Amino acid sequence: MRLTSDSTGTSVTLAEPHANYSKTFNAATASANASSITDDIKHNLSGEFTGLQKSVDQTTGIGVVDGNPHAVTAILADDAYTNFGLNAALPAAPSAQIGAFTIGATAGGGMYRTGGLDADFATLDLTFGMRLGNRVGLVFSDWFEYGQVGGDSRYLGGTNTGLPISIILPPAVGASGIAWQITPWASLGGGGDPDLVLGGGVAGGGATSVVRLIHGPLSLSIIDQGSYDTGFNIHVDGYHFDDKVDQWIVKNGVIGAYTVSNGFFVDAGASYTDFLNPAGVRDYLSPTAGIGIAWGAEHESSFRVAYEGDFGHGFNANGASLQLRLGF
């Protein structure tokens, strides 16, 4: 985006060559002109700068809604991958009781670098799960992220609703066997960066499959997930955000865990994420390693401290999280 002005600031031309857009603003004073330009950007960005936000998503690592590991579409996918696969919010159990439920909270944060810009972020995820039967459950997950990219603040949030279905129930704690759970889920989210006038809403859904191979204290989980998101307009505090999202995301990963004794465990794994449609960070690797403790008759409660990272072309992130799950 380019601004050109006369010496007084009372005549200013705003142009965006990539969007084939140019408009001249005239006012009695420079301050009045600045106010007019700000209002025009806030209210008419979607119509007048068609394709600008999509270009940011598809060519940079700073898009708010799509195209990088800290965009809304990617966080929705990662939230589902975590809560329905990596560390299930409602773990499959060999003898679950109908009506039993779990609550959980995960807090995290870290920093990343992309396109020469340094960024910080803080996250919060809240979950609630309830068993509808021995093999079926219902899980709600709400997440929030606050970030600063190059000094500009951004706000993101969303929710996933999943229906975990146990195809093969796991063996009792300490025994060996195999478990398989599939979770179809629906998602809704959005975000905005008022300083960059970027943002929008996202709706979609997907499915997560997790196969666990268990041999006594050792386990290996193989997680596969696919999801689709589409965008819609949102209006917040006078800003009109619209990002024409049309994105498929595939995530595949593994995590191995070893229970040392008395519920204490260590784990390590990684996932690979691929945006199937154009994205600023087309694919990336996300390693994780954690330690924690699980308790309860079926280890339905747990506490985990973990390292988490995201590494793609022109994008490097490092962070940590604390996760608490309580089963009742």
Q: What token pair was written down for 166?
A: 């146990």
pTM exceeds cut of 0.75: yes
27 and 123 part of one domain: no
Number of domains making up the chain: 2
Q: Can you give the pLDDT at residue 166?
A: 95
Phi, psi of 134 (to 5 degrees): -65, -30
41 and 142 part of one domain: no
Nearest to 233 by CA among 193, 205, 202, 204: 202
Asked whether 273 and 74 are in contact (CB, 8 A), the reply is yes
Q: pLDDT tens for residues 208-252?
A: 999 999 999 999 999 999 999 999 887 776 666 777 899 999 999
168 and 251 part of one domain: yes
156 and 15 part of one domain: no
39 and 149 part of one domain: no
Q: Can you give the pLDDT at residue 221?
A: 98
DSSP string, 65-98: SSSSTTSHHHHHHHHHHIIIIIT-SS---TTPPT
Provide Rg for the chain, Cα atoms: 23
Sheet of 21-26, strand order: 2-5, 11-16, 21-26
CA 165 to chain centre: 23
In a domain, 183, yes or no: yes
Q: Can you give the pLDDT at residue 7?
A: 77
Please determine, for residue 174, whether its predicted confidence score (pLDDT) is greater than 60: yes
Q: What token pair was written down for 20?
A: 């084939």
Amino acid at 320: A
Q: pLDDT tens for residues 77-93?
A: 999 999 999 999 988 87
What domain range is 182 assigned to?
61-327
37 and 171 part of one domain: no
For residue 97, name the pLDDT band (cuts at 50, 70, 90).
low
Q: Return d(Cα 292, Cα 86) in angstroms, integer.
A: 14
33 and 158 part of one domain: no
Q: What is the domain-level CATH number for residue 150?
A: 2.40.128.130
Q: pLDDT tens for residues 145-162?
A: 999 998 889 999 999 999
Q: Can you give the pLDDT at residue 30?
A: 72
Phi, psi of 315 (to 5 degrees): -145, 125
Asked whether 293 and 306 are in contact (CB, 8 A), the reply is no
Which residues are CB-contacts of 47 (< 8 A; sequence separation ≥ 6)?
A: none
Give residue 189's region: left, alpha or beta (phi > 0; psi -120 to 50): beta
Decide which of 26 and 16 is more confident.
26
